[in-house]
């Protein structure tokens, strides 16, 4: 579940500190246990539960891998391409357009809308398309929620170039000349209700623009449709997350509720689900060169204006893709 980072992602495990980019990206999956402040009523059973949650948070935090871009393994990716191709071509009937809009070389910031719950089929389809088009030799990294990287069995994502979402990791990847894929909407967007499936919603996160400006790299919007049709997403469960203090302990602001196979009612989506075989269509838009388009006269670039522009472009494309679809899931 790649996403753009918040400043709160920074902590010692990732070898960086906060740089004040506090409007960027998704939510950090974990926090150092020291961050957890038990409420004044933490006594008895409540205290016990809070202690257990703190221990769990600590355990998860310890599992978050130290970001090492060198863990990306082109040979491993190459050997996994056939499996991804089968999944993408036969199950999701994936279609990726406009890869030619991505420059042949140099660092680029790909900014996508995110769908499909914790399984994010759009990421799989796009990763296959990108690696097949440019070759596994081209450096390609994705930012992911810390919880995703710390889950047992998902460590292999690091071999695909996935690193924990944080401004420092983003900087590292762009400095290395890589193509970096971020999903600023992160878990907020990925768990949006199904009736908002055709809506781009970054929840106001604009840090990716600051990073693009800092590194002077173009932003390339990547718009996908179909992922949110792989289950019936009912609610982000923000209130539930607050009630269970997940926002304080894991910095998880959502506890999604959906109806999905094989669980039926699926709360949290922590174990994933079997996605419905919805057709996934992805369109890559032309690059946006921020300094040329928004600061040509040397004036300071208005982040809000850029944000509105990116969202408008992506929403227009998503509307056009939605108009092409005749039926949900079938496409």
Partner 1 sequence: MRVAAQIDISASPEQVWEFIDDPERYLHFMQGMTRWETAGEQANGLGARYRMLMRVGSAEVGGVVEVTEYDEPRDMAWNSVTGIDQRGRWRVRDRTGTRLQPRSHVELRLSYGIAGAGLLGWASERLAAPTVRNNLRRSLQQLKRTVEHEQLRRSAAERRSTRASA
Helix H segments across 97-193? Answer: 121-134, 146-150, 167-175, 186-190
Out of 20, 39, 51, 82, the residue judged to bind partner 1 by CB under 8 A: 82
Indicate if the alpha-carbon torsion angle 21, 26, 31, 35 is positive or negative. Answer: positive
Based on the shown chain and the rule CB under 8 A, indicate whether residue 103 belongs to the binding site for partner 1: no
Rounded distance, CA 37 to CA 133, Å? 48
Q: What angle do CA 170, 118, 88 make, to 5 degrees?
A: 90
Cis peptide before 262 (omega within 30 of 0): yes
Least separation in angstroms between residue 112's CB and partner 1 is 17
Least separation in angstroms between residue 314's CB and partner 1 is 21
Rounded distance, CA 70 to CA 161, Å? 8
Which range binds partner 1 by CB under 8 A, 77-85, 180-188, 203-211, 219-227?
77-85
Six token digits for residue 133: 């088009």
The nearer residue to partner 1, 53 or 282, going by C-beta atoms, is: 282
Based on the shown chain and the rule CB under 8 A, indicate whether residue 78 belongs to the binding site for partner 1: yes
DSSP state, residue 96: E
The nearer residue to partner 1, 92 or 160, going by C-beta atoms, is: 92
Contact 144, 164 (CB under 8 A): yes
Based on the shown chain and the rule CB under 8 A, indicate whether residue 93 belongs to the binding site for partner 1: yes
Which range binds partner 1 by CB under 8 A, 60-68, 74-82, 105-113, 192-200?
74-82
Based on the shown chain and the rule CB under 8 A, indicate whether residue 89 belongs to the binding site for partner 1: yes
Out of 36, 42, 56, 81, the residue judged to bind partner 1 by CB under 8 A: 81
Least separation in angstroms between residue 223's CB and partner 1 is 16
Place of tokens 């926090």: 31
CA distances from 65 to 69, 149, 163, 165 (A): 11, 7, 8, 11
Based on the shown chain and the rule CB under 8 A, indicate whether residue 137 belongs to the binding site for partner 1: yes
Least separation in angstroms between residue 202's CB and partner 1 is 26
Least separation in angstroms between residue 279's CB and partner 1 is 10
Rounded distance, CA 172 to CA 180, Å? 10
Indicate if the alpha-carbon torsion angle 244, 250, 256, 261 is positive or negative. Answer: negative
Out of 96, 180, 209, 321, the residue judged to bind partner 1 by CB under 8 A: 96
**Which residues inside 142-201 make contact with partner 1, applying CB under 8 A?**
none
Number of DSSP helices (H) and strands (E) in the chain, helices first: 11, 10
Least separation in angstroms between residue 80's CB and partner 1 is 8
Based on the shown chain and the rule CB under 8 A, indicate whether residue 94 belongs to the binding site for partner 1: yes
Rounded distance, CA 262 to CA 316, Å? 34
Out of 102, 108, 109, 129, the residue judged to bind partner 1 by CB under 8 A: 129
CA distances from 147 to 28, 122, 264 (A): 8, 19, 23
Least separation in angstroms between residue 125's CB and partner 1 is 6
Least separation in angstroms between residue 30's CB and partner 1 is 33
Based on the shown chain and the rule CB under 8 A, indicate whether residue 277 belongs to the binding site for partner 1: no
Six token digits for residue 244: 């269970």
Chain residues binding partner 1 by CB under 8 A are 75, 78-83, 85-86, 88-90, 92-96, 99, 125, 128-129, 132-133, 135, 137
């Amino acid at each position: 579940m790649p996403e753009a980072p918040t400043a709160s992602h920074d902590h010692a495990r990732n070898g960086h500190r906060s740089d004040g980019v506090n409007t960027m990206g998704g939510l950090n999956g974990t926090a150092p246990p020291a961050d957890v402040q038990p409420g004044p009523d933490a006594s008895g059973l409540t205290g016990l539960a809070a202690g257990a949650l703190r221990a769990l948070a600590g355990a998860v935090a310890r599992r978050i891998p130290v970001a090492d871009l060198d863990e990306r393994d082109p040979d491993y990716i190459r050997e996994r391409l056939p499996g991804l191709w089968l999944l993408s071509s036969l199950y999701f009937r994936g279609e990726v357009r406009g890869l030619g809009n991505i420059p042949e070389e140099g660092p680029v910031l790909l900014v996508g809308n995110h769908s499909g719950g914790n399984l994010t089929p759009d990421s799989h389809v796009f990763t296959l398309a990108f690696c097949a088009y440019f070759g596994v030799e081209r450096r390609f990294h994705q930012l992911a929620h810390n919880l995703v990287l710390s889950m047992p069995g998902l460590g292999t994502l690091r071999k695909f170039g996935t690193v924990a979402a944080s401004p420092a990791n983003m900087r590292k990847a762009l400095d290395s000349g890589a193509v970096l894929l971020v999903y600023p909407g992160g878990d907020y967007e990925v768990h949006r209700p199904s009736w908002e499936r055709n809506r781009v919603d970054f929840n106001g996160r604009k840090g990716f623009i600051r990073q693009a400006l800092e590194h002077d790299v173009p932003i390339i919007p990547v718009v996908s449709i179909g992922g949110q049709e792989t289950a019936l997403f009912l609610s982000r469960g923000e209130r539930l997350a607050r009630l269970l203090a997940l926002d304080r302990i894991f910095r998880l602001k959502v506890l999604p509720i959906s109806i999905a196979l094989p669980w039926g009612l699926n709360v949290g989506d922590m174990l994933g689900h079997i996605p419905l075989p919805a057709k996934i269509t992805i369109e890559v838009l032309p690059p946006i060169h921020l300094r040329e388009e928004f600061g040509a006269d040397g004036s300071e670039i208005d982040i809000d204006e850029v944000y509105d522009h990116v969202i408008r472009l992506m929403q227009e494309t998503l509307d056009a893709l939605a108009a092409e679809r005749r039926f949900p899931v079938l496409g």
